[in-house]
Structure 1
Amino acid sequence: MEREDILKSAIAGDINAFQTLYAGFQSQLKSYLYRLLTSRDDVEDLTHDTFIKAFSGIATFNQESSLKTWVFRIATNLAYDHLRKQKRWQPDAQDRAADLAISSEEIRQVFWRVHDNSPAGAYEMKEHIDYCFTCISKTLPIENQVALILKNMYDFQVKEIALILEKTEGVVKHLLNDARSTMTDIFEHRCALINQEGVCHQCSHINEIFNPKQNQQEALMKLELVKGSGKYDREQLFALRMVLVKAIDPLHASGTDLHEEMMNCLKTAIGEKKDFFERKHDQA
């Protein structure tokens, strides 16, 4: 069956046809939601809610955009409702997480167990840069964060982002410029991978824990971001970061379980989560 015929069937209420189309971008949708929500449980919940809400309202889909854009708009609104209850993260959130981990032998032991036993517990420098991008993007206002991620990570056009955010294209361009400027500033002052001060404290500390020391410089030099740091300006370096981050699926990378625990530690450190071990006790 041709795609247009499948879409017609979906709009007519055929749930199997809708599922076929939805499956084509579901992986991207989940990855996108994770970058906004930073919780795999919340991603599963909102992905399910998005499917239900989209299919329930499919008769209102007027095809002014692609179905993917229309569904991302629904998911974004659901995520916005979820996130508006939370405070924006501060640039020092990862420092506070590192301080908590250093002060807690129990938390460090969790990191070690995941690293040693989980098939997705590896530590790789490029994945940690992706993790840092996700954390730092949480310092942006939600609309700026959404615009940046949709444009840089998932190749949405400005006109599509305008439909998703229900803004004019001019406003979206302004959101993008502000987001890139803020992210570039934060990366320049916090991530020392690309300046004379050497590797940032967090990358260095974690890499030394989970990888042999002698492999650290070798791992760094494999990254185009580091190799090009002497010849690019800060905007070009930000663009290199985006290329690296775009290539990583934060939900299916080799270190995603380790980063999940690091994220739990961070949320505990900033007060977004009451107890690092709360989720584990609930599952026990």
Structure 2
Amino acid sequence: MEREAILQQAMAGDINAFQSLFAAFQQPLKSYLYRLLTDRNDVDDLTHDTFIRAFDKIGTFNAEASLKTWVFRIATNLAYDHLRKLKRWPVDAQDQGARLAIGNPEISGSFRIVHQHYTSGAYEMREHIDFCFTCISKTLPIENQVAMILKDIYDFPVKEICQILDKSEGVVKHLLNDSRETMTNIFDHRCALVNKNGICDQCSQLNGIFNPRQDQQEQRMKLELVKESKRFNRAELFELRTQLVKAIDPLQSSGTDLQDIIMRCTRTAIGDVKDFFSPPPVKAL
């Protein structure tokens, strides 16, 4: 059946028809929500709430935007309602998380359990760069974060971001420029992978913990970001980061479980959640 016919059925109240349309972009939606929320339980809840609210309002869909854009707008509004109750992340959130893990044997032990026994507990430096990108994007105001992630990671056109955020084209372009500049400045001062004066080298440190037989410099030099760091300017390095991040689904990668528990530790350290708990809710082998 053609998509238009399925859409008409959905708009007439056929939930199965709507589910078939929603399924086409459900995984990118969940990935997007994880980058905003950094909690898999919250992602599942908001994905469910988005589906219910979108189906409830499907009769109002007027095709001024694509169905995907329309649903992403609903999800973004729900995420915004959730996030505005929380503080923006500090630039040193990862440092705080690292200090908590080092000082707490239960947490550091949980990292090792996940790495050794969980289905997606592998450590790859490229996936931690994705993790770092998410953490640093959390330091932005919510609208800036949303605009940048939609454009630079999920390739939404500016026109559709305007519809999702209900902002003019000029405002969205300002949000994008401001976000990229802020992210670039933070990376420029923090990332020790591409800047010898950077203060954060978690990627190499964690690689040494979880992959002790692998030479850290060898792993670094496999990354285009590192290989090109002496050649490209700051803006081009930011573009390289976004290309790397685009290629990773933070919910479906070889290191999803490990990165998620590291994220949980980070959220605990900065006060986003009250208590770190173990074992984490991931599937064991």
Amino acid at match of 1:164: I
Q: Which residue of 1 aligns with 2:190?
A: 190
Q: How does 1:134-283 map to 2 (within 5 A)?
A: 134-197=134-197, 200-212=200-212, 214-277=214-277
CA contact (8 A) 1:70 1:164 kept: yes
Distance 1:214 1:199, change over 3 A: farther
**CA root-mean-square deviation:** 1.5
Residue number in structure 1 paired with 2:73:
73
Specify the alignment match of 2:94 in structure 1.
94
- Measured after TM superposition, the shift of residue 256 of structure 1 is 0.9
Determine which structure has the larger helix proportion and give its number: 1
Q: How much does 1:280 deviate?
A: 5.5
**What is the aligned length?**
281
Note if contact 1:193-1:199 (Cα within 8 Å) is conserved in structure 2.
no
Corresponding residue for 2:18?
18
> What is the CA distance between 1:215 and its match in structure 2?
2.5
Q: Which residue of 1 aligns with 2:30?
A: 30
Give the aligned residue type for 1:97.
G
Task: Assess if the C-alpha contact under 8 Å between 2:125 and 2:207 holds in 1.
Answer: yes
Distance in 1 of aligned mates of 2:214 and 2:52: 51
Bigger drift between 109-118 and 6-15 goes to 6-15
- Which of 11-20 and 130-139 deviates more? 11-20
**Aligned AA for 2:264?**
N
Please give the alpha-carbon distance, in whole angstroms, between the structure 2 residues aligned to 1:53 and 1:42. Answer: 16
**Distance in 2, Cα, partners of 1:213 & 1:241:** 26
Q: For structure 1, which segment, 187-196 or 32-41, has the greater mean C-alpha deviation from structure 2 after superposition?
A: 187-196
How much has 1:205 moved relative to structure 2?
A: 1.8
Deviations 1:26-76 (A, max 9, x none): 000000000000000000000000000000000000110000000000000
Structure 1 residue 19 displacement after superposition:
0.7
Query: Structure 1: where are the runs of 5+ without partners?
Result: none
Corresponding residue number in structure 2 for 1:42: 42
Range with bigger deviation, 41-50 or 260-269: 260-269
Change in Cα spacing, 1:150 to 1:110, as seen in structure 2 (3 Å) is same
Greater Cα shift, 118-127 or 197-206 = 197-206
| Paired residues of 2:190 and 2:199 also in contact (CA < 8 A) | no
2:111 aligned partner: 111
The percentage of counterpart residues that share the same residue type is: 69
8 Å Cα contact 2:6/2:17 also seen in 1: yes
Residue identity opposite 1:273 in structure 2: V
Q: TM-score, normalised by structure 1?
A: 0.96
Q: 1:73 to 1:201 in 2, by over 3 A?
A: same
Measure, in 2, the Cα distance between the counterparts of 1:201 and 1:168.
39
Deviation per CA, 1:204-253: give whole Å up to 9, x if none: 22111011254311211111101111110000000000000000000011
SS at the partner of 2:215?
A: helix
| Structure 2 Cα separation of the partners of residues 94 and 198 of structure 1 | 14
C-alpha separation between the residues in 2 aligned to 1:221 and 1:278?
34
State the match for 2:9 in structure 1: 9
Distance 2:280 2:207 in 1: 25
Distance 1:91 1:197 in 2: 16
Instruction: Specify the SS of the correspondent of 1:253.
Output: coil
